[in-house]
Chains A and B, each alone.
Chain A
Amino acid sequence: EDQVTQSPEALRLQEGESSSLNCSYTVSGLRGLFWYRQDPGKGPEFLFTLYSAGEEKEKERLKATLTKKESFLHITAPKPEDSATYLCAVRGGSGGSNYKLTFGKGTLLTVNP
């Protein structure tokens, strides 16, 4: 069974204070690791997909990296508008169901001005 564990559960940063969020995963045949951002009362917003160890993707102040066991979402010089819950999900390839996403519980990021 695919599993995703995110840490920390909550993170408070001062504006400009860089940090990283962790996503550890267990999956049979990784078919993609996904990062989403979710604002209160809204659906998850797609950020990145990573497919293989060593892959990196960037978008504004965010950079996602992937190893064989975990992914990091690095936030450089965050701003208050980066405050949100960040969700990590994996898509495995076992049993022919290479479309289901298994999600972690998320990291609630708060960036104070």
Chain B
Amino acid sequence: GAGVSQSPSNKVTEKGKDVELRCDPISGHTALYWYRQSLGQGLEFLIYFQGNSAPDKSGLPSDRFSAERTGGSVSTLTIQRTQQEDSAVYLCASSLMGGTGHEQYFGPGTRLTVT
């Protein structure tokens, strides 16, 4: 079946502009995660959605970052007033449910470059 999809695959933006990154999880998966992968660094957890529960936003690096998940499916990660340090690959993952026993399956990522 279809895996996790993300769009756009690449985004180049000027410093100070806002960007929106989209994630379509695997159908039927109730848990959705965003991670960031910077050059030379491990994947960094950003935010977690599980069903209708309040999201865990503890990994968001600043208040310029926000995310929403509409209808329990598609999610959008928004970065306002982008900075050069925001340049990274943003990865979305989904799992059948959150928690133990459920593997996370990743999308191909969005490569964001802030000039």
Tell whether A and B belong to one assembly: yes
> By the criterion of a CB under 8 Å from any partner CB, how many residues of chain A are at the interface?
26
* Residue ranges of B at the interface with A (Cβ–Cβ < 8 Å): 4, 31, 33, 35, 40-45, 48, 50, 56, 58-59, 91, 93, 95, 98-101, 103-109
CB-contacts of A1-50 with B (<8 A): 4, 31-32, 34, 36, 41-46, 49
Q: In the docked arrangement, what's the CA distance between A32 and B103, Å?
A: 9
Q: Which residues of B contact A31 (CB under 8 A)?
A: 99-100
Residue ID in chain A nearest B92 by CB atoms: A43
A105 on the B face (CB < 8 A): yes
A32 surroundings in chain B (CB, below 8 A): 100-101
- In the complex, A32 Cα to B100 Cα: how many Å? 7
- Residue of B at shortest CB range from A104? B42
Q: Tell whether, in the assembled complex, residue A43 and residue B48 are in contact, meaning their CB atoms are under 8 Å apart.
A: no
When the two chains form their complex, are residues A43 and B109 in contact, meaning their CB atoms are under 8 A apart? yes
Q: A34-B103, A43-B91, A46-B103 are in contact. Are A105 and B108 (CB under 8 A)?
A: no
Nearest-CB residue, chain A, relative to B91: A43
Complexed CA–CA distance, A105 and B44 (Å):
10
| Chain B residues with CB below 8 A from A100, complex form | 45, 48, 56, 59
Known interface pairs A99-B31, A100-B45; A43-B99 also in contact (CB < 8 Å): no
